[in-house]
Amino acid sequence: MEERKSGFSKRKIRLFAALFLALLAICTLAGNTLRGLSLPKVYTQLAAKGSVTHEYEGHATVQPGQTQDITNPAGWKVKKVLVKQGDKVSIRQKLIEYDVSEALLQLEDMHTNLKKQQLSMTQLQTNYIAAVTDGDEGTLAAAKLAIESAKLDIALQEQHIKSLQKSIAEGQSAMAPFAGVVTQVNALGGAVPGGSPDIVLANSAKGYEIRLQIPGDVAGLLKVGETLDQITVTGKASRQISGTLVTIEDGVLGGEVLPPTGDSSGTNESAGQPSSVTVSLKDDKLKGGERVQVKIAKTSEEQTVTVPNEAVHHNDLGAYVFTLESKEGPLGNAYYAIETQIKITDSNAYVTSVAGGLFEQQEVIVNSTGFLIDGTRVRR
């Protein structure tokens, strides 16, 4: 009886021992799988010292630095346009010939009038001689006055003729006032010019320029007088040219500057507001109207701790990242995700520069397979 009882309990013990060892064996062999089911896996990156590069890429059209509208003040018909858009012209080169036939007709009329006046003058002089002979004082004075008046009329007419002759001489063609490039031709052969200038001429001596709308974060790092050398003329014969920054006009309108929002998460205040920037280009082959691609890459000078943008989260207290903290325990190192408040000083599309709260070489969680809150235990 005693033996049987003892045998039964031994079987139980054997079973229990087998179960215990099996449990330990399963936990040992399938440990990684089981661990994967219970802890979120995190992907980390070391916070490194670096700087934030702000990049801008855009297109612009080359415009001349100085242009001059060439028009015919007399409004004559255009006889012939001698240049076309894009032509290079030298100083005093003939650009347009105007039809002066109407002016010549007018001149002929004036000459005829002059002759008529001269003929009537002869008549007046005859009248004067007759008055002297008669000895009538009153008639003499009237004849003298008439002669004087006619002389003035003739002088005036002669002046008009001279003036018309001069304007015909000058206005029968339009000349280039300086060496440059024809950027616009509005005049048409045989047509009376409308309101717009006949030809627009760009001054080669003054060079070309482009105007760009640049985001505030990039514009904030630019200085007037700086040389930009990543300007590429697009098209068939693309080539690289350089330019000098001439003006920077902040896009901020008066009184619209927003007060900085909080100090812990204060990002670049002008980051959202674009600035208008003018760059003057010095290149002999430019004609104006070309499309250029402009690349600007500016790196902030100060070296700070940077983290990838994916690692930065926001809550009502500001920006924070999850750092990986290892706690040494009797079971070895256990890793926890710790919420660390940071102060953002600068950022671009990829990295964020952090001023406070984070140290170099600290492990920052970039991504995880599960939802993280402060203090979540994770696996690497």
Partner 1 sequence: MNNYLRLSGLALSVLFSIFAAAMLFPIGLTLVSSMMSEAEISQNYDLIGKMVDTANGGKDAFLNLKLLPDWLTFEQYLQVLILSPKFLNMFWNSASLVVPIVIGQTLVGSLAAYAFAKLRFPGRDKLFFVYLMTMLMPFQVTLVPNYLVIDMLGLMNRSSAIVLPGIFGAFGVFMMRQFMAHIPYALTEAAKIDGAGQLTIFIRVVLPLAKPGLAALAVLLFVDYWNMIEQPLIFLQDAVKQPLSLYLAQINQSARGVGFAASTLYMTPMVLLFLYAESYFVEGIQHSGIKG
Residues 6 or more apart whose Cβ sits within 8 Å of residue 372: 40, 42, 322, 337, 365, 378
Query: Shortest approach of partner 1 to residue 232 CB, angstroms?
Result: 57
Instruction: Tell me 206's DSSP state.
Output: G
- On whether the CB atoms of residues 231 and 242 are closer than 8 A, the answer is yes
Give the C-alpha separation, 213 to 248, whole Å.
10
Three-state DSSP state, 86: coil
**Which residue's CB is nearer to partner 1, number 13 or number 132?**
13
| 226 alpha carbon, distance to own chain's centre | 15
Q: Closest separation between CB of residue 327 and partner 1, Å? A: 8
Q: From the CB of 325, what's the least distance to partner 1, in Å?
A: 14
Compare residues 140 and 334 and give the one whose CB is closer to partner 1. 334
Nearer to partner 1, 80 or 377 (CB): 377
Q: Which residues in this chain contact partner 1 in the complex, by CB under 8 A?
A: 6, 9-10, 13-14, 16-17, 20, 23-24, 27-28, 31, 34-35, 38-39, 329-332, 334, 377
Determine the straight-line distance between the first and last CA of the chain, rounded to whole angstroms: 58
CB-nearer residue toward partner 1: 255 or 329: 329
Phi and psi dihedrals of 243, rounded to 5?
-145, 165
Q: How far is the CB of 366 from partner 1 (least distance, A)?
A: 23
Question: Is residue 337 within 8 Å of residue 322, measured between CB atoms?
Answer: yes
Q: For partner 1, give the closer residue by CB, 18 or 191.
A: 18
Least separation in angstroms between residue 18's CB and partner 1 is 10
Nearer to partner 1, 225 or 332 (CB): 332
Q: How far is the CB of 20 from partner 1 (least distance, A)?
A: 6
Dmax over Cα atoms in the chain, in whole Å?
190
